Structure 1
Amino acid sequence: MSDLLFALYPWIKAIHIVAFTAWMAGLFYLPRLFVYHVEQGQDAPDKAAMLVTMERKLLKVIMNPAMIVTWLCGLYMAGLPGVVDWAAVWPWTKALAVIAMTWFHMWCAGQRKRLAAGDLSTSGRRYRMMNEVPTLLLIVIVVSVIVRPI
């Protein structure tokens, strides 16, 4: 059985990377849609309706499944004996960054619901600033996994 688990490892890793890439793309794009929504949605109800649809589909069809697959594949790989040195610092910094990325995902989901309900009280500037969060977390994750500092 363990031979099969290790034989699947490269495939699971590839799926993990593809899912993570899709998740990141969504996390980069959804807050940008929020900026357009709050800055242009008040003046053009038809644009606001289109943005609500785009935001919902991006989150439900792409981001949620990508996040779930990323987590499942990551946990699979982390659970294989000898793959991760849990005494090192890098798996913990990566884990914290992935948890923070998940929090950001949930924050975006909450913002999507607020915007769909017509609450445009958050500024475009705030959404632009929040759009930098996934970039910072991506840097932590990649450096943790590739460079493995300390």
Structure 2
Amino acid sequence: MSERQTDSAPGRRARLRAFVAISLFVALLAGLLLFKPDDLYLWIKALHIIAVMSWMAALLYMPRLFIYHTDAAPGSEQSETFKMMEQRLLKVIMNPAMMISWGLGLYLAWTVYGFQGGWLHAKLLFVVLLTGVHMRFSRAVRAFGRDENTRSARYWRLMNEAPTLLMILIVIMAVVKPF
């Protein structure tokens, strides 16, 4: 019989791969901060964008999982599979990507802009709101894990729009800098 992705061995391997990837990311960042190349700003900006893309991918995928999980009978094999997928997405991608996005974003806001500019304050407000969405999804993962979801698939379809709207506003603030 073949190994299933919901078995513990694939989960351990996924955590190990995630740990190695995050360790390499942190080592690269530490090396950049230690050696301070002339293009440090560009490296930090690139790493920030990579982390934000990973965070957004997870934030856009998680409510889709919730939509399908809502239709699965509690305790069913399908429900248990969704629980595993949600847990891994949250712990292996979403949380680390959010922390790295915040850390590098604050570094850039301080070193490049000195936390000055109305556009930056608006962008930070939208990122705080995006973090609130992240926290809502984290609580939902725990509720689904206990088979205590009380929200409908329609609710999760609407919640799927929140990260998209906030992403649009954040990108406009970062690129256009309207005020």
Show CA shifts across 1:69-90 (max 9, x none): 101101111121xx22644321
State the alpha-carbon separation in 2 of the partners of residues 4 and 133 from structure 1.
37
Tell me what 1:37 maps to. Answer: 69
Once superposed, which parts of structure 1, at least 4 consecutive aligned residues long, lie more than 6 Å away? none
Tell me what 2:30 maps to. Answer: none
Superposition CA RMSD, Å: 1.9
Which of 162, 165, 172 is matched with 1:133 structurally? 162
Tell me what 2:59 maps to. Answer: 27
State the alpha-carbon separation in 1 of the partners of residues 47 and 175 from structure 2.
18
Preserved contact between residue 85 and residue 91 of structure 1 (Cα < 8 Å)? no
Deviation at 1:44, TM superposition (A): 7.5
Preserved contact between residue 22 and residue 63 of structure 1 (Cα < 8 Å)? yes
Show CA shifts across 1:47-104 (max 9, x none): 0000000000000000111001101101111121xx2264432101100010011111
Cα 1:79–1:137 change in 2 (3 A) is: same
Tell me what 1:61 maps to. Answer: 92
- Structure 1: tracts of 5 or more residues without a match: none
TM-score (structure 2 length as normaliser): 0.76
Cα 1:30–1:11 change in 2 (3 A) is: same
State the alpha-carbon separation in 2 of the partners of residues 115 and 87 from structure 1.
41
Deviation at 1:120, TM superposition (A): 3.0
- Structure 2: tracts of 5 or more residues without a match: 1-32
Preserved contact between residue 26 and residue 62 of structure 1 (Cα < 8 Å)? yes
Cα 1:45–1:132 change in 2 (3 A) is: same
State the alpha-carbon separation in 2 of the partners of residues 21 and 37 from structure 1.
24
Preserved contact between residue 23 and residue 63 of structure 1 (Cα < 8 Å)? yes
Cα 1:49–1:43 change in 2 (3 A) is: closer
| Overall identity of the aligned pairs, in % | 41
Cα 1:69–1:96 change in 2 (3 A) is: same
Preserved contact between residue 32 and residue 128 of structure 1 (Cα < 8 Å)? yes
Q: Which amino acid aligns with 1:71?
A: W
Tell me what 2:19 maps to. Answer: none
Counterpart secondary structure, 2:36 = helix
Tell me what 1:75 maps to. Answer: 106
Structure ranking higher on relative contact order (CA contacts 8 Å, 6+ apart)? 1
Aligned length: 146
Deviation at 1:4, TM superposition (A): 3.0
Counterpart secondary structure, 1:108 = helix
